[in-house]
Amino acid sequence: MIIRKEHRVMGARKLYDLLQPFMMEHSIKMGRDALFDLLAANQLLVKKRKRKIQTTYSNHWLRKYPNLIRDFIPGAINQLWVSDITYWKIHTGDHLYISLITDAYSRKIVGYHVAETMEAIQSIQALQMALAALDGAAVPLQLTHHSDRGIQYCSGKYVKLLQDYGINISMTENGDPLENAIAERVNGIIKEEYLSHYQTNNLIEAKKQLQKAISLYNNDRPHMSIGNLTPNKLHNNKKLNHQRLWKNYFKKLTTFEKKNENYPVNLLQNLSFNL
């Protein structure tokens, strides 16, 4: 098996799954914990980074919509899209802003855009990309678009575009990141596992690198939450059977439940990602 350069920024659990056929073929016996220890010893584990820039401004007069997805679990693609904006600090020290739209069922990034500002028009371009991929789908859709209450998502043009397609509008109701957990998680994966390893000097380079990162994410990165399938494989095959490992992010665990959860034996596993 050939491990490309891009795979070296993948979470350790995903890398272990990719290496399994190669290790079996060459009679290499190494468990997941041993791989974590090896990566940790060589400082190769993906580390989480703290957010430093606020990308959500919700103290505005525009209409805000209620959260419609608290108890909703999508059973197919194009039932729930989650959207968010994140910043990207490039090599020059400047910041760019990435708008992402992800299908919550398949985890595929269906729309994206990078720009020098957080203006609403930039987020609309990510939405237009996602909608363009729906060619041939019935309108209105049985689809909900979920986001935070940022001014970009509440803007008249963004809301009208959703309404034109008959898409339900859902928004977070407080500052808890768990209300938009999948979108937050995808932001982290794209930035920490892919973009942080590029030397980016300007917007032109950023657009090419973001396109490459999302292609790798959609086509190559398996997700435990969808039975270790890649987003594109699940998104593009409606008849594909898979084991759905859905997390209910709104469930508040009791102290007893927390103590009896199946936590990883090796605590270094917490540095990799489940999604």
Q: Where are the domains of the chain?
A: 5-41, 49-275
Tell me the residue length of the chain: 275
Q: What is the C-alpha separation between 56 and 49, in angstroms, rounded?
A: 18
Q: What is the C-alpha separation between 265 and 179, in angstroms, rounded?
A: 28
Q: What is the C-alpha separation between 116 and 166, in angstroms, rounded?
A: 30
Percent of the chain with pLDDT over 70: 64
pLDDT of 146: 97
pLDDT of 240: 75
Q: Which amino acid is at 147?
A: S
Q: Which residue ranges of the chain lie beneath pLDDT 50?
A: 1-3, 5-8, 55, 57, 246, 249-250, 252-275
CATH superfamily of 49-275: Ribonuclease H-like superfamily/Ribonuclease H (3.30.420.10)
- Residue pair 93/53 in contact (Cβ under 8 Å)? The answer is no
64-86 burial by CB neighbour count: b if 16+ within 10 A, else e? bbebebeeeebeebbbbbbbbbb
Start-end of H helices in the chain: 12-25, 32-41, 120-132, 151-154, 156-164, 181-188, 203-220, 231-235, 255-259
Cα dihedral 179→185→186→189 (10° resolution) = 170
- C-alpha radius of gyration, the chain, whole number: 19
pLDDT of 141: 79
Contacts of 251 (CB under 8 A, 6+ apart): none
